Chain A
Amino acid sequence: MGILHDAVEATLERWIRSRTPPQREVSLGQRQIFIIPNRYGLGMLVLVVVLFVMGTNYQNNLVLALAFWLIALFVLSIHLTYLNLSGLTLHVGHSDSAFVGEPMQHTVHLHTRRPRYGLLVSGDEQPERMLDELPAGTQCPLQLRRTALIRGLQAAPRMRLETRFPFGWITAWTYWSPDQSGLAWPAPVDHGLDRISADAEPLRPRTPQRTDPDALDDVRDYAAGDPLRRVLWRHYARRGVLVVKAPPRRSGDTRQLDIRQVAELPLERGLEQLTYWLLASENAAEDWSLRLHDSWLPPGQGATQKVQGLDALALTGPPGSVRDQEGRP
């Protein structure tokens, strides 16, 4: 029984998925809308049968007419329920980023030309939302929520849009997988590693801290995008080489976050540890830099730096990805 049920359900699910592939925009039509009488509709049909028998038994044409009228309404309500969904358009929107284990918000947009009533939006995780009335020409944002289980790009969840309007005898619904994804960052978890000890390793000698802004080791080669104010023009006149004055440090310390500091942990857990340190640095308002196998983020702090760092953590590949092979021939 259970096996049969599962098999039927899996087949049904495959069929539904084949009909509703992920799309950036969808206009609901016969391909997308599923429609079937629900148990209340079947109950109504039972009532119609009772009325028909009653009318036949007493040879009462009016009771028969009432039964026919209800049947006509039933058939009509199939169309009305279908029309309540048909022609709705759904567009992809913006997906927020979130840590693994936290719900990720995906915003999609629903647009209607005609007025609609009694739409029920549901999905895996978000609470059901009843859209009682959408006047003609409404553009309505909908929030879809899904908790990411692994880091990286997360596709938006499939949403379900249902209606039983007008009479509740028929259920029409549609599935839509918006073709949009959000980035899931590794969860910030402290696995108890000591970052300082890793820092002390000689592979990255600690820069002596200077307070003099004109000191030599605050000078580095010019790179595209450096502000022209910082270019040391005298130096250029004398030597013909463009160098810039590095921006002054706001605090004395730069936290060097490095994938090699967490080498003893498995990759994913190491990334979690790095995320934890990253957030801790941000909270402490200290500069930090991040070195991964395939990328390096220069020291800095603030919202942009944080998002860049988290994105890099989310997207980094395991050792053995392209960059790593080049590094270690």
Chain B
Amino acid sequence: MTEARFLRSGPQLTAPQWQRVLMMLLVVQLMLILPIVLMLPGWLAAVPLLTGAWQWQVIRGRWHPPGRAVRWTLVLALPALLLGSGLNPGALDFYVALSFIGVALKLLEMQTYRDAWLVSMLAFFVLAALLLLDQGIFYTLYVFLGGSVALAALLRLHAPNGISLAGAWRNSARAVLMAVPFMLLLFVAFPRLPPIWQMPTMSDQARTGLSDSMSTGSISELVESNELIFRARFDGDRPSQSALYWRAMTLTHFDGERWRQWPSRSPLSDQLLQRPELPVAQPGTELWNYEVVLSPTWQPWVATLENLTGYQSADAQWARDNRLVWREQLRRPTGFTAQAAARVENPSELSEQTRDAALQLPEEGNPRLREQAAEWFADVGRELDMADRIMRFFAESGFSYSLRPGVYEGPDGIDEFLFSRQTGFCAHYAEAMVLMLRSVDIPARVVTGYLGGQWNEDNNYLVVRAREAHAWVELWTEEQGWVRYDPTAVVAPDRLTGSLSDALGDDEESLSGAGWGDASAPGWLQRLYWQWDNAQYQWQRWVLNFDADDQASLLDRWFGHWSPIDFVRYAGLLVIALFSIWYGIQLFQRYGKFWGWSRFELLARRHCRRHWPDLPANEGLTLWADRLEGRAPDFAAELREFAADCLAAQYGPPEHQAECRRRARKSWQRLRRQKASDTG
């Protein structure tokens, strides 16, 4: 017995006990299937169903366990199938699927305690890995529920016969809930570390949000989605709805068909190279502070309010075309805070490189546009007047706003838009205006981003979705620097002040995919929608995006003003408080007896002695009852019964003690009344 017995393998289980444990593990497996089917190839669901059913039959003694050949075939074939179904072995989801297959196959060889333990641990791993792929509120709850089932399975493994299903649930749920405060403490206080290495999460992740190139002419129909791009909350003042221009990127290079940010693929580094200086707010102008929580769009582009004057985030970089670019693709909800001003000081001059890029024009194409622009510029002569002239043209020539303008193909597509069909969406107007400006040597560029957004009035935050995407124009003047012009505003003014659906005709509204939070939905549905949206916002803000900065500021807010001496003082107080509580409990337990059953005994003694002072103090209640037999027979009988109950309550069989205690209490009340009536 001296050997280290705690290193033994666990208890041996019999077949019916295994059935009880395996049932719980199968439930865990089934719980894993749902998210796997939603996020990964659906055929994976068949694997645990097959292996689980097989093992179930083995345990019931109907089938044979699979032979070595079958097991090896499965082990080799399933990863090959995974590869075949298009998952990239360089990405995380491949490994999630692989571990899922591992758990499912482990079900086939469940013979020892160790196997059952391994399956439950692997289930935790797969649940965690699935959290990398989805972080919604419901899914998180689901994961923790799955973890609780795995714990219940473990619990049952250690008392297979003794503990019922309900008992296992109750015990597991109790442990889970008791663990929550400690988990929250660790979550808030445990230091956050920077990542060690990284791996793409999904093999083929659909990107959302703006594309970094734009080919207006070839799009006949713009289907707009309700996909969330970001939420923003303003501290204090907020800009008017028509001033909410969220800049995401500038498209400078036009090759006749397609707009890009720059001529070739790579030179993002050019834009970031010499850490450009942030603009400075003009004195006396309005300032806005806001906080943004970005959805994972799998792109590095980030939309910020125009005239950004400051930002707080370690992962953001300030690009030379006045915008933020993230260091890497946004793969999780990410937050930052930023400041913007209504007006900023002009930058002194335009660099040669930027000027060249902003004047770039294809050699030929759209001849009417060039002619018209040259004609107008000859008339007005100044940059801003030229822009105003173009805006007047858009306002006065019967242009219309449409999400399905049809295709404008060929090298002269913009001529067709401007001078014959005259219907299009924001990108058409922006593109046409920039080309006109450039053809008369005014530096200009297309800016894409988002316009406006939907306010959640209760919570004072703004929701910006993919359908708020917008394109507008910036042109350079020596006097004022970059000036924004939005040609769409003069064609469809509603687009600025209201939502997108206001700007569209009835027949086009269906295209825009209005959400159920829109004004057209019934009131209760809208409220429900906004409550849910708010919950998601808070979830992203405080749980998913709780990073080292948040941690530091939170701890600073709670304990920041404490000096070391304060810490010592509070720790001392805490120790004293804990000791007092402990001592109080001890005292209570000791004197609790007085307030329990023996109090009646003491009171009864006092009562008797008060009426018959000659009763000897060294005798018990039973002897007193004997002495009182002659003097007060009724009282003596009652006292005898009371004494017997008191004795039984203390020394009798445990199962009757409670009852005796109750009887003694009743008896004491009778005793008191009786004597009172005797004397009265």
Contact = CB atoms under 8 A, between A and B. Distances in A.
B61 interface: no
Contacts of A171: 6
A149 interface: no
Nearest to A66: B128
Interface string A25-36: 000000000001
Given A58-B132, A60-B131, A47 B7 contact: no
A54 B128 contact: yes
Given A57-B197, A117-B162, A160-B5, A167 B129 contact: no
B606 interface: no
B195 interface: yes
Nearest to B543: A61
Given A62-B140, A73-B175, A117-B163, A166 B154 contact: yes
Q: Is the interface of B mostly helix, strand, loop or mixed?
A: helix
Interface string B489-528: 0000000000000000000000000000000000000000
Contact of B1 (A58, A73, A130, A158): A158
B125 A50 contact: yes
A76 B155 CA distance: 14
B331 interface: yes
Contacts of B159: 117-118, 132-133, 165
Contacts of A59: 195, 332, 547
Q: Determine which residue in B124, B143, B197 has the highest number of CB atoms from chain A within 10 A of its CB, and name it.
A: B124
Given A51-B125, A124-B1, A133-B159, A57 B183 contact: no
A56 interface: yes
Contacts of B179: 69, 72-73, 76
Interface in B15-33: none
B178 interface: yes
A44 B171 CA distance: 19
B331 A47 contact: no
Contacts of A36: 6
Nearest to B153: A167
Contacts of A62: 131, 135, 140, 143, 543-544
A64 B655 CA distance: 49
B11 interface: yes
Given A62-B140, A75-B182, A117 B158 contact: yes
B645 to A, nearest CB: 22
Interface string B544-570: 111100000000000000000000000
Q: Determine which residue in B92, B135, B180, B187 has the highest number of CB atoms from chain A within 10 A of its CB, and name it.
A: B187
Nearest to B154: A167
A133 B20 CA distance: 15
Contact of B178 (A76, A124, A163): A76
A60 B135 CA distance: 9
A53 B545 CA distance: 17
A47 B157 contact: no
Interface of A: 9, 12-13, 36, 38-40, 43-44, 47, 50-51, 53-73, 75-77, 80, 117-118, 120, 122-124, 128, 130-133, 137, 158, 160, 162-168, 171, 173, 175
Interface of B: 1-7, 10-11, 92, 114, 117, 121, 124-125, 127-129, 131-132, 135, 140, 143-144, 147, 151, 154-155, 157-163, 171-172, 175-176, 178-180, 182-183, 186-187, 190, 192-199, 201, 331-332, 543-547, 654-655
8 contacts: A13-B2, A39-B7, A40-B114, A60-B332, A69-B147, A73-B175, A166-B154, A166-B175
